[in-house]
Amino acid sequence: MLFISGAINSSQLGSCLDDRSGHLSKPLYLFRASRCDRACGSAHLRTAQTAVAAANPRIVAGMNTDNLGYDYRWDACHFNDEGRAAILAEVVPAIAMLIEATAPPEGGAVGTD
């Protein structure tokens, strides 16, 4: 499941938590992110995000976007084109591997487990 939260799309969370969706049994790629404005991020928050992933086999500790500095952000918080490209370059292969690792066996039906 890929859930990207933001102020505008936070209403999607309800459907993701619905047992009927099947999302709760799928792997979750958790970005480690805390950097916004002139704060360079919080090591405590990134440590907590990493610990959450380590404690749940369904959660993958994903990219640490705090490593992307101001050159990758249009307002010192949100990513510009360069930031989005850098994220895609790292995340797409990681998510592709997750999809491959969790795909049903050849000839198997999706969602029957």
Please give the C-alpha separations between residue 72 and each of 42, 46, 85, 92, in angstroms, as whole numbers. Answer: 18, 19, 9, 18
The whole-number pLDDT of residue 105 equals 79
Kindly give the confidence (pLDDT) of every residue in the chain, 113 residues in length, as a single tens digit, with 9 standing for 90 and above.
555 555 555 556 666 677 777 777 888 899 999 998 777 889 999 999 999 999 999 999 999 999 999 999 999 889 999 999 999 999 999 999 988 888 777 765 555 55
